[in-house]
Amino acid sequence: MTGISSLEKSELGHPQDILSQAIDAPSERAVSRAMTILRQVGACQQSAPVLTPLGNHLVALPVNVRIGKMLVYGGILGCLEAVCVIGAAISDKSPFAVPMGQREQADAAKHSLVTANSDHLTLYRAYLGWKSAKSKGKRAENEYCQKYYLKKSSLIDIENTANDLKRLVQNIGFSSVEKISTNIQNQDIGLLRAVLTAAFYPNVARILPSKVKVEASERQVCNCHTQQGHATVHPSSINRFLGADSHLIYVEKIRSRDRVYLRDCSLTSPFSILLFGGDIDVLHNQQLVVIDRWIKYKTFARTGVIFKELRHLLDDLLQQKIDSPQTNITEDPVIRVLQEILTSER
């Protein structure tokens, strides 16, 4: 149950009761898990099995709800092209290859493309480089793939899937003028971080400071704290040795025999979490803004109040889009304000 087409209107009854009548009925646990994801994404109301304005738009996208949310906000914020590529890459296999006995060289090639401490933006940069090389002919394309240890077949699959995703979003009226050029600029990073945060929150982890002093020649792996406990960034991530006083957004958590790994992660930002994170509590006397009771920002109380209001305004715009599908909300002043806020963050 990765989509939301099975979520019925409340007057028809609870989803568990409805789905239990199906010929191949899902388990109660599966339905409960699906409902939890829908609430986390913001597609379903917290108090009842009723679609939110966002959920009503996601119904029209036959994709995983997190990818669907990426696409909607990518269209709204003017970074749809990049988001479609990233969404396609998450859905398909990674284009980065590690030939037998060449891990060190492959890792070095991948790290030469690192962008904004993000596995997702690094992959997008590799994709853009491939597109540029391909435009110069097969020889240039093959040389590029060989230099950066990329699988051409995977890149082609990502391109095809990205084109399909873009058409889906355009068909439901969420296409806008692209704010991102063919090269990733500093101002683009804020938009993409925000969209990734919107899609994968509450998959967020706080990077822990290193408590162990190591030799200059050694590197300390990136350890994190999540709401469920301790985790370590996966060896395949470009953030494997990241040290920063910040948070990571991640796609999935993998449990091995002795530890928990975070796969496909990107450095996120305070503005992204304040705008697309969980419940905001404003502690006026302490000048603290707290997200979901554990992510804390020392700032003016009015900052939390402003972001709360921006969330309401964004929900109102999504509702307007439902009521009047022809409305172009991407040019609304609220969206322009959001773009300015997110691109101003460094």
Per-residue pLDDT of the chain (346 residues; tens, 9 = 90+): 444 544 444 445 677 777 777 778 788 888 889 899 999 999 999 888 889 999 999 999 999 999 999 999 999 999 999 999 999 999 988 999 999 999 999 999 999 999 999 999 999 999 999 999 999 999 999 999 999 999 999 999 999 999 999 999 999 988 766 655 556 766 689 999 999 999 999 999 999 987 655 444 467 899 999 999 999 999 999 999 999 899 999 999 999 888 999 999 999 999 999 999 999 999 999 999 999 999 999 999 999 999 999 999 999 999 999 999 989 999 899 999 999 999 998 6
Q: Are strands 280-283 and 295-298 parallel, antiparallel or unpaired?
A: unpaired
The HSE-up count of residue 121 (CA atoms within 13 Å, CB side) is 26
Rounded to two decimals, what is the model's pTM? Answer: 0.91
- Lookup: tokens for 341: 């806020």
The pLDDT of residue 5 is 47
DSSP string, 112-178: TT-BTTBHHHHHHHHHHHHHHHHTT-HHHHHHHHHHTTB-HHHHHHHHHHHHHHHHHHHHTT-----
pLDDT of residue 9: 42
DSSP state of 212: S
Give yes or no for a cis peptide into 202 (omega within 30° of 0): yes
As to burial, measured by CB atoms within 10 angstroms (0-12 exposed, 13-18 middle, 19+ buried), residue 45 is middle
Give the C-alpha separation, 85 to 77, whole Å.
15
